[in-house]
Amino acid sequence: MTFTETLWKSTEPLYRAIADHPFNRDLAGGRLDPARFAFYVQQDSLYLRDYARALALLAAKAPTPEIANDLMTYAQGGIAVEQALHGTFFRQFAIGPAERQEPACFAYTQFLLAATALESYEVGLAAVLPCFWIYREVGLAIKKTAASPNPYQAWIDTYSDDTFGLAVQRMLEITEQAAATASPPLQDAMRDAFARSTACEWWFWDAAYRDLRWPAI
């Protein structure tokens, strides 16, 4: 079993909870409440700004120019594609931009920025991996059962697309390379970072479904 396979196996119950979450079941069925989707899109747009920063911080620590270039490409090009997708939904559902990150988004982005800025390259890499990997798996799973027509078809198409899949595969390769020379304690730290981000992925979807926001001040 490869290192990344052990990461997935250790967090598989969380992935199953994500894939079977009412948010994703309703999205697949085309019946997701537009208000819930609007909350998700608003927060995801804010999340991606910090995710791009996290990838850029990681690129600065990359061991080779090739890996640094790949990470910067994902920070710039990949994020631009997803932001364009958000723009589509802003227009389709008449969604206005959010002004602040709500608790789940804030916790996730702060963890990613801390992991990539303050922790080792290897730990930062493990922290950013779930966003790539889980979205591909959820996208592919939803594509198999999605209702047609589906108001969220553009979302499904983006994350089940072969091009996105290639980016995920490259991130897996980069992570395997990093783990191959990591000490056992460092590998354990990578596992912990991966698990924390996976938990944040679940929380992000759950928060959107339940409209979890900061208390009124």
What is the pLDDT at residue 84? 83
**Residue 215: pLDDT band by 50, 70, 90 thresholds?**
very high
What is the pLDDT at residue 179? 98
User: DSSP state, 181?
Assistant: T
Does 166 or 217 have the greater pLDDT score? 166
Contact between 109 and 55 (Cβ < 8 Å): no
**Residue 66: pLDDT band by 50, 70, 90 thresholds?**
very high
Could you tell me which residues come within 8 angstroms of residue 13 by beta carbon, excluding any fewer than 6 positions away?
none
Average pLDDT of the chain is: 95
- What pLDDT, in 10s, does the model give residues 16-62? 999 999 999 999 999 999 999 999 999 999 999 999 999 999 999 99
E strand or H helix at 146, and its extent?
none
- Number of other CB atoms surrounding residue 84 within 10 Å: 11
